[in-house]
């Protein structure tokens, strides 16, 4: 049996600290074979289009945010044989910023995976959707149309690609299936929506959670793990709080 821990949309420094701490406890106890990071591990809020022309654009926080992101990713995957990270819209913000200063685009140290030091930590970065298991694709979720209904964003990508899809992006926990036999599994997020200043009253149709995958041969069984507002959850017969 090969087991995967699937993490999405941490959006450091806006991650839910208690939830992340508990998932790290789970990772250290269970020692999953592989960790899949479905993008948006760092927010890059100070270089977003929403920061332009505001005091936020002048905050010098990227270094601290990067180091914290690396620390969390390491803690989640240090006991696993591999860690795969997929591109995403928030991490694309670095390249979008470089487009405004084209002379810097070719600097290797400013390429996102190099900027984050993934190779030095033994992590693999994928610029495009990645088939991590026969018939199963890892994608961020912004490659197609986003749905307001949990699981449907992944379902739409599954129909498009003809394979099952594991994705994040929409911050909704759900799973859907397609009658032609193309399944889709959708992941949620570990972001603390109370920290999302762009949400009015801190309200959004988001559900915190993560996923555990178990495979034998070509067979894959996904398990969704909802996370409570206090960061607690039950996984593999043990409570984490």
Q: So where are the chain's domains?
A: 2-128+191-240
Residue 120 has what pLDDT? 98
Q: Does the pLDDT at position 198 exceed 50? A: no
Q: Does the pLDDT at position 59 exceed 90? A: yes
Q: Give pLDDT tens digits for 78-132.
A: 999 999 999 999 999 999 999 999 999 999 999 999 999 999 999 999 999 999 9
Q: From 75, 66, 74, select the one nearest 43 (Cα to Cα).
A: 66
Q: Using 50, 70 and 90 to split pLDDT, how confident is the model at 205? A: very low
Query: With contact defined as beta carbons under 8 Å apart, do 9 and 191 qualify?
Result: yes
**Predicted TM-score (pTM) of this structure:** 0.84
**d(Cα 7, Cα 174) in Å, to the nearest integer?**
14
Residue 199 has what pLDDT? 41
The answer to whether the Cα torsion of 92, 98, 102, 107 is positive or negative is negative
Domain 2-128+191-240 of CATH type 3.20.20.70 = no
Residue 123 has what pLDDT? 99
Residue 183 has what pLDDT? 52
In the DSSP assignment, the letter for residue 150 is T
Q: Give pLDDT tens digits for 124-162.
A: 999 999 999 998 989 887 765 655 555 566 667 667 777
Query: With contact defined as beta carbons under 8 Å apart, do 155 and 136 qualify?
Result: no
Q: From 132, 10, 140, 139, select the one nearest 70 (Cα to Cα).
A: 10
Q: Does the pLDDT at position 37 exceed 80? A: yes
Residue 206 has what pLDDT? 54
The arithmetic mean of pLDDT across residues 39-49, rounded, is: 95
The arithmetic mean of pLDDT across residues 208-232, rounded, is: 93
Residues 6 or more apart whose CB falls under 8 angstroms from that of 141 comprise 38, 39, 153, 154, 157, 167, 168, 169, 170, 186
């Amino acid at each position: 049996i090969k087991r995967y821990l699937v993490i999405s949309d941490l959006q450091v420094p806006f991650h839910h600290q208690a939830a992340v701490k508990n998932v790290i406890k789970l990772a250290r106890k269970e020692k999953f074979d592989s960790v899949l990071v479905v993008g948006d591990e760092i927010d890059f809020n100070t270089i977003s289009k929403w920061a332009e022309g505001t005091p936020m654009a002048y905050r010098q926080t990227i270094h601290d945010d990067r180091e914290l992101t690396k620390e969390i990713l390491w803690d989640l995957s240090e006991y696993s044989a591999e860690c795969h990270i997929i591109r995403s819209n928030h991490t694309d913000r670095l390249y979008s910023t470089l487009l405004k200063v084209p002379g810097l685009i070719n600097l290797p140290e400013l390429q996102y995976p190099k900027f984050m030091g993934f190779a030095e930590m033994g992590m693999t970065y994928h610029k495009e959707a990645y088939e991590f298991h026969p018939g199963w694709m890892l994608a961020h979720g912004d490659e197609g149309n986003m749905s307001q209904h949990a699981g449907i964003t992944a379902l739409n990508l599954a129909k498009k690609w003809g394979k099952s899809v594991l994705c994040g992006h929409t911050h909704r926990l759900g799973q859907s299936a397609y009658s032609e036999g193309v399944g889709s599994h959708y992941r949620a997020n570990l972001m603390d929506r109370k920290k999302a200043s762009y949400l009015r009253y801190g309200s959004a149709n988001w559900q915190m959670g993560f996923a555990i995958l178990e495979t034998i041969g070509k067979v894959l069984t996904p398990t969704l793990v909802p996370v409570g507002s206090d960061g607690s959850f039950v996984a593999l017969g043990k409570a984490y709080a």
